[in-house]
Amino acid sequence: MGRPKQFDPETAVEQAMQVFWRKGYGCTTPQDLVDALGIGKGSLYNTFGSKHALFELSLRRYRDTQAKALTDLLAEGGDSVKERLRKGLELLVDMDLADPDRRGCMAVNTAAELARADETATELVRGMFARTEGSFRALIEEGQRSGEIAPDRDAAAIGSLLLNTIIGLRVTARIADGPDGMRRTIRAVLDLL
């Protein structure tokens, strides 16, 4: 009962996520959000309570859409493990560089901006990183079972290395002026596998 919302909260969170992703938490103002969501400040605070609460929802949404897309991509069968790795990394770089705002990864940006200052956000980022690391590790283990990767390699360590690699790549995506350095990085890491 009562008056129904004139806007879709999920859509609003999606739009808020885009803003936070581009500007970071600190540099996003209530005005930015009001403009982007196309609703009044009253509705915004009535629905979400605070800028921080909306940020948390945005970060969760990022996890459930963007971060999930990466793990799905890696889990997809078809090619060989190494080929999937190569495609995944290159797709990531291409997407990051194609973004006109060069936002990189929202989780990485949040880690750099809010670690130690926002425990909830930090924990969400930790979770995303752990999940991605697990996907990489599973992929390596699959490669070991199929004989594509030497079985004496430490799959967990290589998983950590691969997670670390994409974190670095997505920071670099924010400032790189071209794809060359990042492609070299990908080449090096794949050659070493």
Interacting residues toward its own copies by CB under 8 A: 24, 26-27, 101-102, 104, 108-109, 111-113, 115-117, 122, 125-126, 129, 133, 153-154, 156-158, 160-161, 163-169, 171-172, 174-175, 177, 181-182, 184-185, 187-189, 191-193
Buried b (16+ CB within 10 A) or exposed e, 59-89: bebbbeebbeebbeebeeeeeebeebbbebb
Burial classification of residue 94, based on how many CB atoms lie within 10 Å of its CB (0-12 exposed, 13-18 middle, 19 or more buried):
middle
Residue 46 contact among its own copies, DNA, none, beta carbon within 5 to 8 Å by kind: DNA
Residue 4 contact among DNA, its own copies, none, beta carbon within 5 to 8 Å by kind: DNA
Question: Nearest Cα to 135, choosing from 95, 186, 85, 185?
Answer: 85
CB of 42 to DNA, least distance (A): 2
Q: Which is nearer to DNA, 42 or 78 (CB)?
A: 42
Which residues are at the interface with DNA (CB under 7 A)? 1-7, 26, 28-32, 39-43, 45-47, 50-52
